[in-house]
Amino acid sequence: MLKAVHVLNGPNLNLLGTREPAVYGHETLAMIEARLAETCKAHGITLHFRQSNQEGDLVTWIQNAGRAGEPVILNAGAYSHTSIALADAIKGANARVIEVHLSNIHARERFRRVSRIAPVAYGVILGFGAASYDLALQALLSAKPES
């Protein structure tokens, strides 16, 4: 049974709501957190929701979640496209990660079309704006427990 979920957000996601709203929407990270918190509370799940512009913070949080056997919803922002360290943390800690993106990265600049996270992720959800987070949480809630 799912007891806790970690939602980890990378660089510039603290600017949601004001940063390129035509691409990323008008919802703030606080609004997304509040909505996910309601869903988690309704299911008796602890929500750990964090954001950092520092890659090392994300590495540590992924390692901690993986060691605790708790799943991660990860929007690594630009680090998705560059960070071998995050991919190594996911593999090394055996973290169960769902990668999320607000935009459809495959319809954007060429450099955004490659994710270092996707090959080591449990799943990937992208292109649904802030609802990408909700879809990832629903996927975790409906998934069969790991044996």
In a domain, 75, yes or no: yes
Position with higher pLDDT, 88 vs 103: 88
DSSP class of residue 24?
H
Give me the domain span that covers residue 103: 4-142
Total domain count, the chain: 1
In a domain, 41, yes or no: yes
pLDDT band at 58 (very low <50, low <70, confident <90, very high): very high
Report which of 119, 113, 82 is spatially closest to residue 99, judged by C-alpha positions: 119
In a domain, 117, yes or no: yes
**pLDDT value at residue 106:** 74
Position with higher pLDDT, 24 vs 76: 76
In a domain, 70, yes or no: yes
In a domain, 147, yes or no: no
81 in active site: no
**pLDDT value at residue 134:** 98
Report which of 61, 97, 101, 95 is spatially closest to residue 80, judged by C-alpha positions: 101
Which strand ranges, in their side-by-side order, compose the sheet holding 72-75? 46-51, 4-9, 72-75, 97-101, 123-126
pLDDT band at 24 (very low <50, low <70, confident <90, very high): low
Question: Which of the residues 101, 106, 122, 133 is marked catalytic?
Answer: 101
For residue 123, the domain's CATH number is: 3.40.50.9100
**pLDDT value at residue 147:** 41
pTM equals: 0.91
Contact 130, 97 (CB under 8 A): no
24 in active site: yes
Question: Which of the residues 6, 24, 79, 133 is marked catalytic?
Answer: 24
The percent of residues in the chain predicted with pLDDT above 70, rounded, is 93
- Residue 109 predicted with pLDDT over 80: no
pLDDT digits (tens, 9 = 90+) for 62-84: 999 999 999 999 999 999 999 99
